Chains A and B, each alone.
Chain A
Amino acid sequence: MSNVALEHITKRFKDVTALDDVSFSITHGEFFVLLGPTGAGKTTTLRVIAGLEKQDHGDVIFDGVNVNKYTPADRDVAFVFQQYSLYPTRTVYENLAFPLQSPLRKWPKERIDQRVKEVAEKIHIAHLLHRKTANLSGGEMQRVALGRALVRSPRLFLMDEPLSNLDAKLREALRIELQHLQKTEGSTTLFVTHDQIEALTMADRIAVLNQGRIVQIGTPYDIYDRPATTFVAQLVGIPRINLLPAVRENGLLNVERSTIRLPLPTDRTIPQRFLLGIRPEDVRLAPDGDLRGEVALTEPLGVETVIHIRSGQQTLLSIAPGITDLKIGDVIAYSIVRERLHFFDLDGVRL
């Protein structure tokens, strides 16, 4: 069942086109992530859905009902803002209770009190309830902002980079908590981020947005393993995908300005010139590998080491588990997993 759908949404600000014919739909209980670099139009999408911004063209559909004319209050969505805007001069408790006190809901006091305390427990801010919001730390504010959305049971949660202001540890903890909450309560969530790890780990489905256009929609698996464009391929995955210009030559795949030669795939037609994408984990160091290269740089990360392999004038990133004793200048043998190569035409579209 489709809970929320955008159909051909276009939004312009003077001469900037923030959204350009954006369409997607989110099913009930889904954790949908909107991934894109800064300025892609992620916040604008959320604001259009919430009714805070009026689209120029297109429709916002909730359960088959066109809600273009609904006020934000009538749309029944909860919004965690990017710049988390807690009501100042109010306590954390009052901030959490505020959405429930809306005349729209007419909740009795005891029920509000109970709900606020319940949510505060869940996201570990019970000890902050009587503090003023102005002097909370950034991480505490972010939790309260999350809590203010979670007290309600809206049709849809809109979360605009709610974890962006936290340190790595807290971010990870909250990420897991959020995922857990979402799954146990079965709430539909549209989560915005520019962090690919967040997107890959949390999402049921991901929509990649670039310059106001949807580039690809799919499961994390789709996005990572079948990127629709070089943009998507480069956006997800750390270290970045190796993207090398290549030509077809004598029935072989020939990476320009290097010694890499690979057999051509047989299941699709490949143009004369194209871009070859190789994930670093698919470049495997192996004594019996058929390719040779020189170590240009190593970056030990602990769990793994990123090895820059020079082949001709090209440099290839590779990952080796653990810490290696390779030195710059060492000649090594490696192989490339052939089944997992990515082919893009010169415009960056997947072949």
Chain B
Amino acid sequence: MFGLDIPLPDFWIAYFFVFWVLIGGTTAPVMFRHQGHPVWLGVLTGGVVGVISGVVFMVLLTVLKPLADVVDDPFLGILVSILISAVLILIALGWLRRFVPLARANEVVTLAEGGPRAPVTYSTRVDKVDPSWLSVQGIRATVVVMLAVLSLIPVVWMGMTAFKSRADAVASPPKVIFEPTMEGFISLLTKRRQLTDAQIAEYKQREDLAWYDEVMLKRGQAIIGQSDYVKRLRNSLIIASVSTVLSVTLGLLSAYAFSRFRIPGEGDLLFFILSTRMLPPVVVTIPIFLMYRELGLYDTHIGMILLYTAFNLSFSVWLLKGFIDEIPREYEEAALVDGYTRMQAFRKIVLPQAVTGIAATTVFSFIFAWNEYAFALMLTSDKARTAPPSIPSVLGTGGIEWAAIAAGSLGFLIPVVIVTFSLRRYLLRGVTFGAIRQG
């Protein structure tokens, strides 16, 4: 593509182009603003500079092609040439700063009272910070965004596949542009029957067909009921959230006790708690399976909740103990003296301080319980079966339904994203460090 002799696939060429445009677009406005020009001029110039940088980058890659022969490894060669080119362009961009003229006095738009020209590396006022530092921030942000884009590609691809028709899903070369359809979701959520030609003709005459019936009719199938996936997802949700709440609550209480009271053999007990986590699930499933069968816990919600709670507990005790250790005892002691019971002091003083830890533990526990596969596969069959082991069963007969699998995975992803996102505020640590001074 692009008629250039570049040893890179098209995707990467496009990727790097976007990268350079972003770099130019974030760094140039800083320089322009610093010299007193309006920001839009910087963005515009930055865009152009970015495109030029992209082109230069490709040219450099072409020029550096013989490098692959020198290091005797085509992959390493391209990697090194990318690095060299990137550094060269960044240096050139840094140089560019000198050529941005100072705006004439009557043209100065944004510069308030002229910020310091000498480097200042940190300030809350944007116009006081040295442009080179701000530019570096821009470059860092760009790199992070581009890396995030890269790691999001599989997820995006999954999302796209979920909306593809059966044929598009397996098309080669893969289709980036396709006609979206709900086929995947419908086949995930329904049970269907294959129709003969005569039946299809008969079905087409009917007036009472809903839109999803029509979609499936195109594939020659009739919907005959709901699939189990919804039920599985519901099971997953119940089991994961109840076990998370339980393990965080119990973990919080025991972590508090471990942190605050003198417990004989504390170290041994903590180690013992951790040791329950040392065996891989696969190893213990068989004994647990036998136990559960005897106890009537096989394929029950309670059984799975108990198991996940027990499994997460060790983790939550350890994690929370670390957080609670960091809350100075003086806070509770002050509350005790002020006329509160231990439990009230815990609720009113410790709990609000431990939200960060609680949030982190909740997210991790939930993710574990939600993703768990081995136990769920062995210890459930139908009533309490969770989503992870049921997705492969969608693979079904008569060809792999990639769209359905992608749709299932997408639905499976959403709750974790919701939980993590809603707690992300608390995951940022050190926000509310307290009013205690070492005397």
Q: What is the interface of chain A, defined by CB distance below 8 A to chain B?
A: 50-52, 71-73, 75-79, 81-89, 98-99, 102-105, 133-134, 136, 138, 141, 148, 152, 161, 164-165
Give the A-B pair count, Cβ closer than 8 A: 96
Q: Which of B190-198, B222-230, B328-336, B396-404 contacts A (4 or more CB under 8 A)?
A: B328-336
Q: Which residues on the A side are within 8 Å of B331 (C-beta)?
A: 85, 87-88
Please name the residue on chain B nearest to A81 by beta carbon: B330
Binary CB contact string for chain B from 352 to 369 against chain A (1 if under 8 A, 0 otherwise): 110000000000000000
In the complex the two chains form, is B336's CB within 8 Å of A52's CB? yes
In the complex the two chains form, is A83's CB within 8 Å of B338's CB? no
Q: A73-B337, A73-B341, A104-B339 are in contact. Are A88 and B433 (CB under 8 A)?
A: yes
In the complex the two chains form, is A72's CB within 8 Å of B434's CB? no
Q: Which residues on the A side are within 8 Å of B280 (C-beta)?
A: none
Q: A87-B331, A103-B344, A161-B439 are in contact. Are A73 and B336 (CB under 8 A)?
A: yes
Q: Which of B339, B349, B432 contacts A134 (CB 8 A)?
A: B432
Instruction: List which B396-438 residues lie within 8 A (CB) of chain A.
Output: 432-438
Q: Which of B330, B337, B437 contacts A141 (CB 8 A)?
A: B437
In the complex the two chains form, is A102's CB within 8 Å of B439's CB? no
Q: Which residues on the A side are within 8 Å of B334 (C-beta)?
A: 79, 81, 85, 87, 148
In the complex the two chains form, is A83's CB within 8 Å of B433's CB? no
Q: Which of A52, A73, A133, A138 contacts B339 (CB 8 A)?
A: A73
Q: A81-B330, A85-B330, A88-B432 are in contact. Are A71 and B439 (CB under 8 A)?
A: no
Question: Which one of B331, B334, B436, B438 has the highest number of Cβ atoms from chain A below 10 Å of its Cβ?
Answer: B334
In the complex the two chains form, is B335's CB within 8 Å of A98's CB? yes
In the complex the two chains form, is B337's CB within 8 Å of A83's CB? no
In the complex the two chains form, is B435's CB within 8 Å of A88's CB? yes
Give chain B nearest CB distance to A140 CB in angstroms: 10
In the complex the two chains form, is B338's CB within 8 Å of A102's CB? yes
Q: Which residues on the B side are within 8 Å of A105 (C-beta)?
A: 339
**10 sampled A-B residue pairs with Cβ under 8 A:** A72-B333, A83-B438, A84-B439, A85-B328, A85-B334, A85-B434, A88-B331, A89-B434, A98-B338, A161-B439
Give chain B nearest CB distance to A128 CB in angstroms: 12
In the complex the two chains form, is B439's CB within 8 Å of A165's CB? yes
Interface presence of B340 (CB below 8 A): yes
A164 to B437, CA, bound (A): 12
Q: Which of B339, B435, B436 contacts A102 (CB 8 A)?
A: B339
In the complex the two chains form, is B437's CB within 8 Å of A99's CB? no
A87 to B436, CA, bound (A): 9
Q: Which residues on the A side are within 8 Å of B352 (C-beta)?
A: 89
Closest 4 pairs between A and B when the two form their complex, measured CB to CB: A88-B434, A85-B330, A102-B339, A99-B338
In the complex the two chains form, is A83's CB within 8 Å of B435's CB? no
Other 10 A-B pairs with CB < 8 A, given A52-B333, A73-B339, A85-B334 = A73-B336, A73-B338, A78-B337, A85-B434, A86-B436, A88-B435, A98-B338, A103-B344, A138-B437, A148-B334
A161 to B439, CA, bound (A): 9
Q: What is the interface of chain B, defined by CB distance below 8 A to chain A?
A: 328, 330-331, 333-341, 344, 349, 352-353, 432-439
A105 to B338, CA, bound (A): 10
Q: Which residues on the A side are within 8 Å of B433 (C-beta)?
A: 88, 134
Please name the residue on chain B nearest to A83 by beta carbon: B439
Please name the residue on chain A nearest to B355 by beta carbon: A89
In the complex the two chains form, is B341's CB within 8 Å of A83's CB? no
Q: Which residues on the B side are within 8 Å of A133 (C-beta)?
A: 435
A99 to B433, CA, bound (A): 22
Q: Which residues on the A side are within 8 Å of B338 (C-beta)?
A: 73, 78, 98-99, 102, 148, 152
Give chain A nearest CB distance to B179 CB in angstroms: 53
Q: A85-B330, A87-B331, A87-B349 are in contact. Are A141 and B336 (CB under 8 A)?
A: no
A76 to B437, CA, bound (A): 26
A157 to B436, CA, bound (A): 21
Please name the residue on chain B nearest to A73 by beta carbon: B339
Please name the residue on chain B nearest to A74 by beta carbon: B339
Q: A88-B432, A89-B432 are in contact. Are A164 and B339 (CB under 8 A)?
A: no
Q: Which residues on the B side are within 8 Å of A84 (C-beta)?
A: 436-437, 439
